[in-house]
Chain A
Amino acid sequence: GDSVTQMEGPVTLSEEAFLTINCTYTATGYPSLFWYVQYPGEGLQLLLKATKADDKGSNKGFEATYRKETTSFHLEKGSVQVSDSAVYFCALRGDNQGGKLIFGQGTELSVKP
């Protein structure tokens, strides 16, 4: 079945460092890909998405490109801030599967001043 694999955390960075969180997926057909973020004490929020190959999703300085050839959707940010500290989840929505999301295990990011 479809699945998502994320790099394990926690990831600890200094403010203004470059961030990469790896995400790879296994799916048949043409899934849509998402990054959700969960700030401490809050619910899941959509960060960005891409619905077809080579699409780039972006929001709040974060970017991810849908790479079908490598089945990847890595999250990047050029300069992280303390306020980016959160848990990040990669997810896919498969074709003809009712819209349900399949999530990776999450990657905790901690940014130190």
Chain B
Amino acid sequence: DTGVSQDPRHKITKRGQNVTFRCDPISEHNRLYWYRQTLGQGPEFLTYFQNEAQLEKSRLLSDRFSAERPKGSFSTLEIQRTEQGDSAMYLCASSPSGFETQYFGPGTRLLVL
């Protein structure tokens, strides 16, 4: 049983560029969550999917952020026109349902120069 995987693990980009991250959840997990973690802080919820449906978005998710989960399998998180304040670790987690344990991936560390 493979865990949650994320790609890339590290990304360095220049301000104003677009970036896209991918998350592959544990097979057959219906729920997929995205969180953001800045240095010295706990993860903060961004958005979640039930299968392919995006059911909630945090107010932290500005218009420059978009997430998809086509076919209810992997998910992508895109940030357009990146800003230095977007520098953070982006974490993905999956669970069988909303009432079961979430399993986290290793994260994608983004640095915006």
Name A residues whose Cβ lies closer than 8 Å to a Cβ of B. Answer: 4, 36, 42-46, 49, 89, 91, 98-106
Of the four ranges (under 10, 10 to 19, 20 to 34, 35 or more), the interface on chain B belongs to: 20 to 34
**How distant is A81 from chain B, measured CB to nearest CB, in Å?**
23
**How distant is A94 from chain B, measured CB to nearest CB, in Å?**
11
**A100 contacts B104, C-beta separation under 8 Å:** no
**How distant is A75 from chain B, measured CB to nearest CB, in Å?**
14
Name B residues whose Cβ lies closer than 8 Å to a Cβ of A. Answer: 4, 31, 33, 35, 40-45, 48, 55-56, 91, 93, 95, 97-99, 101-107
**A43 contacts B104, C-beta separation under 8 Å:** yes
**A100 contacts B40, C-beta separation under 8 Å:** no
* Chain B residues whose C-beta falls within 8 Å of the C-beta of A45 in the assembled complex: 104
One of B4, B31, B42 near A104 (C-beta < 8 A): B42
**A91 contacts B42, C-beta separation under 8 Å:** yes
Give the CA-CA distance A49 to B100 in the complex, in Å. 11
**B101 contacts A49, C-beta separation under 8 Å:** yes
The closest CB in chain B to the CB of A91 belongs to B42
**B101 contacts A46, C-beta separation under 8 Å:** yes
* Chain A residues whose C-beta falls within 8 Å of the C-beta of B48 in the assembled complex: 98-100
* Chain A residues whose C-beta falls within 8 Å of the C-beta of B102 in the assembled complex: 46, 99, 101
